Structure 1
Amino acid sequence: MRGTHLLLSLLLISGFQTVSAQVDTARSGTYAFNLNDCIQYGITHHHDVVNAHLDVNFSKEQVKEATAKLFPHVNISGSFNDNLKLQTSLIPDFINGNLNEKIPVQFGTRFASSITGEIDQTIFNSDYFLGLKASRVYTDLSSKTLTRTNIDTKVAITKAYYAVLTSQESIRLTKSNLQQLTKTLQDTKSRYDQGVAERVDVDRIQVSYNNTVTQVGNQIRTLVYTLQLLKFQMGMPQENQLELIETVNDLKVEDYAGDTVNYRPEDRIEYGIQNTQIALNELQLKSKKLQYLPQLAGFVNYGWNYFSADFKELYKHGFGASVLGVNLTWPIFAGTERLHQIRENQITVKKSQNDLDYLVQQIQVEVKNANTSYQNNKDNFVTAKKNMDLTQGIYDRIVLKYDQGVSTSLDVLSAENELTAARTDYINAMLNILVSKTDLDKATGRIK
């Protein structure tokens, strides 16, 4: 029971090459995977990874959008006016030569229409060119974010995978103990029937047998949960069948070695992401500074104007018109707003540079913490394995003496309890060293 609770706690805290895989995805949805296969499946199907790929595609479209702003823009506009009552103006009476008198006149026709096509081309605009560069930097940021998502997914899958393997090993060890208890219980019952053993001996071993059967059931339910967790971390539907083709013996935990000598903070993807963020902040600062520059754009248009007092005659005759020109906008002075915006962006750049320095310190502390945890767990694992082997030997000898009638059922139960505790410590130590090794690899930037 204690092993089950500890294993579940480790799974919740952790968050969750070799052999070719046998896959039948088309028919039964059954998979036979090793660790590498699980990781490859996860970085293809996991929700976060899929969305990160979409973010990369989104950023690429933003680059194209920024580029498209530099292309010519073509517009067509049209209008139709029905002057229900023409506007009246007063002008001097030129006809009669009486300039001091004003006479009312109406200009225009009742119906008027126009169609104009115009081409606009940006000649110089600092925001456009900086925006294009910023979009490319943003694409780089989204790519690095995808890498970080891949790493996080690999770590989560690896930890969940190890949890499944250790659950399977825990069941194997407990079933082995149950097999021995079954034999001891049967032998004790036979001896009781022969009058050699007492009823209390049968009952004591029966209690231990019942507890072990319950423990196996609990461990099987834990295994089901850990397998569901693994499929969740992989982005695999729960209804699919997943079988692991490795055991803890294939991992060779004893051969693991931690190396923190040759790592560099620059190997961490977070370092690259922060550098990209600094580049974006610097581009924003540059954009504010360049807002003092003028903006120049050219245009050319051509259109037709139509006039008539009769609607039926409106589009019989048109009058063409065309304009070619440039527009220059130069924001000479707009208060001190831009000056303060520049200073704000300068502060933002300094903060992002300070964040990079702080990130390096965080990585260094994280590596030391992960290495300490790994070394401690490694020593605990070696000790737990030795203790389990020693306890197994003690248990076997006690059972042998019991069969020979030179030890009591209490001795057998005491040895069995010690063996159960030693196996629990061994399983937990194995999971701890596997998880801490994964954390160390992530901290040193070895997981790409």
Structure 2
Amino acid sequence: MRRTTILTLSAIAFTLSVQAQNNRHITADQAVSVAIENNSHIKMSDMDRRIANADFHQTDAVFLPQVTLGYTALTTNNPLNAFGFLLQQESVTAMDFDPAKLNHPGATQNYGTQAEAKLPLLNLDMIYARKGARAQEEMYQYKAERTKEYIAFEVQKTYTGLQMAYQARDILRESLEDVKQIHRSVTNFYDQGLVQKSDVLNAQVQVNTIESALAKAESNIHNASNGLRLLMGLEISDEAYTTDSLVQKKKIYPETTLSLFRPDILALQKAVDATDMMVKSSRMAFLPRINAFASYNLNDSQAFKFRNDSYLAGINLSWEIFSGNQNRSKMKSAQYQKNRMQEELNLHIKKEQLELDKARRDLNDSQTEINKQQINVEQAEEALRILADRHNEGLANTTDLLMAQAQFSQQKLLLSQAIMSYNVIEAYFRFLTKIEN
């Protein structure tokens, strides 16, 4: 029996050793680095930035010419068009002025090649629209930057949760060993007739309870590992990451006000600038537009012959005096959008300042909680030691000892949770203030 027990324990130890070797260790910085490269939200925000850049370059048409090349084959017996074909082909002769031929020209063909060019000279509304598109592109650049910062915070928070899962497992393992030792001692006392059967059963119940909690702790490790993989843009796996130990990241932060140069605030400011440019663009729509145009033509009576060239060039000034209130309403709409974006910016700044103040207070509260929990752990440990000594001497009952042991484990878990909470708040505080590690 003893040999079987030894072999079983050896097999369990070997299995745990293999699992520990298979689990890949990862640091918080490594996890953040992988997430910055692979996270789906970051990729989508980068695509939004690229889309905004492409939209901006559509406004290059404000300055660049538009060139069109075409080839047309026509046939007609219309007298006017038929004579026009002859003129375009530069092939009019005296015979073509015969009234009978003028009135009944028969089927006449024309094969024309045409190159057209349009060049904007002065379109103030489009110039301001281009500036608005540039501001919008910059807005998406800031949004992409802030998305990276947010994902980095989420990775740090999830990593801290994984650290807590390992810490809880280790505490439960220690607690399980202590309770098993108590169970063995109570069993020996029972065999000697010193305690009742209920004491043995209570100890066994405590062992079963901790074993159940330990199984859940193992599941929490795998759940947190997969949550971390999701943020890092990796495939879900049964392999659990191992982490650094959970320790308090205690730093001293000076009194910091909300930075107006934070990417999310700059993004909203650029959104305000973009709507302001659209207001100016809609105002400029009331002014005249000046554009140049030109065309070059080749006409022939035979297909794929390119003779008899001609050109046409000019400058066009157009002024839309009244558009059925379309431009006026468009300008009002743009002004309202600008006012709304400005209000959204002001509200966002106020809310983020409140978040920053709250995070600073939460950080202080978490430190207070850690200090109290450290004292509680020390006191619970001392109470457990005293009761264990008294129990060994037969002066304390088993129930009190089990309760003391459970209290000691609970206080250690609460201390670890307080440290985890502090680290998460500290990471959030840095996220709000853009303070680097």
The TM-score bracket by the shorter chain reads: 0.7 to 0.9
Q: Which residue of structure 2 aligns with residue 364 of structure 1?
A: 353
Mapping of 1:367-378 within 5 angstroms?
367-378=356-367
Equivalent AA in structure 1 for residue 50 of structure 2: N
Q: Could you tell me whether the CA contact under 8 Å between 2:226 and 2:237 is conserved in 1?
A: no
Gap change, CA 1:417 and 1:29, over 3 Å in 2: closer
Name the CA distance, whole Å, in 1 between partners of 2:159 and 2:219.
16
Alignment partner for residue 168 of structure 2, among 167, 170, 182?
170
Alignment check: 8 A CA contact 2:176 2:211 kept = yes
Task: Verify the 8 A CA contact 2:79 2:102 in the aligned structure 1.
Answer: no
Distance 2:303 2:138 in 1: 57
Report the equivalent of 1:131.
129
**Residue equivalent to 2:58:** 65
Alignment of 1:104-143 (within 5 A): 105-107=103-105, 109-143=107-141
> Could you tell me which residue of structure 2 aligns to residue 425 of structure 1?
414
Cα pair 1:30 1:240 within 8 Å, conserved: no
User: For residues 316 and 65 of structure 1, do their structure 2 counterparts lie closer, same or farther at Cα, with a shift above 3 Å needed?
Assistant: closer
Q: Which residue does 1:302 correspond to in 2? A: 296
**Structure 1 residues 113 and 143 mapped into 2: Cα distance closer, same or farther (>3 Å)?**
same
Q: Which residue of 2 aligns with 1:94?
A: none
What is the CA–CA distance in structure 2 between the aligned matches of 1:221 and 1:166, rounded to whole Å?
A: 13
Cα drift, residue 421 of structure 1: 2.9
Q: 263-272 or 141-150: which moved more? A: 263-272
1:321 to 300, 306, 310: 310
**TM-score, with normalisation over the residues of structure 1?**
0.81
Deviates more, 1:223-232 or 1:373-382: 373-382
Match of 2:14 in 1: none
Which of the residues 30, 34, 39 maps onto 1:37?
30
Secondary structure of the corresponding residue to residue 260 of structure 2: helix
**TM-score of the aligned structures, taking structure 2 as reference length:** 0.83
1:189 is matched by which residue type in structure 2?
T
Output aligned runs, 1:427-442, within 5 Å.
427-442=416-431
The equivalent residue for 1:266 is: 260
Residues 225-281 of structure 1: per-residue CA shift (max 9 Å, x gap):
1121122122222128453341113xx34x34454x222341432221111111001
Please give the secondary structure, in 2, of the residue aligned with 1:32: coil
Using the alignment, how far apart are the partners of 2:324 and 2:210 within structure 1?
82
C-alpha distance in structure 2 between counterparts of 1:62 and 1:104, whole Å: 54
What amino acid is aligned across from residue 248 of structure 1 in structure 2? L
Change in CA separation of 1:170 and 1:30 when aligned onto 2, cut-off 3 Å: closer
Partner of 1:198: 196
Uncovered stretches (5+) of structure 2, i.e. residues with no partner: 1-20, 82-99
Question: Aligned letter for 2:406?
Answer: N
> How big is the alpha-carbon RMSD for the aligned residues of Structure 1 and Structure 2?
2.9
Distance 1:29 1:54 in 2: 36
**Separation in structure 2 between the aligned mates of residue 348 and residue 267 of structure 1, nearest angstrom:** 23
**TM-aligned CA distance change 1:121 to 1:38, over 3 Å:** same
Contact 1:258–1:374 (CA<8 Å) still a contact in 2?
no
Aligned-pair CA distance for 1:128: 3.6
Report the CA distance shift for 1:268/1:62 in structure 2 as closer, same or farther (over 3 A).
same
Between Structure 1 and Structure 2, the one with more helix by share is 2
In structure 2, the partner of 1:49 is 42
- Write the letter of the residue equivalent to 2:67: V
Considering fraction of residues, name the structure with more strand.
1
Report if aligned partners of 1:296, 1:329 keep a CA contact under 8 Å in 2.
yes
In the alignment, the residues of structure 1 paired with residue 415 and residue 215 of structure 2 have an alpha-carbon distance, to the nearest angstrom, of 19
- Partner amino acid, structure 2, of 1:290: M
Q: What are the within-5 Å matches in structure 2 for residues 382-421 of structure 1?
A: 382-421=371-410
Rounded Cα–Cα distance in structure 1 between residues aligned with 2:40 and 2:232: 9
Query: Which range is displaced more, 167-176 or 28-37?
Result: 28-37
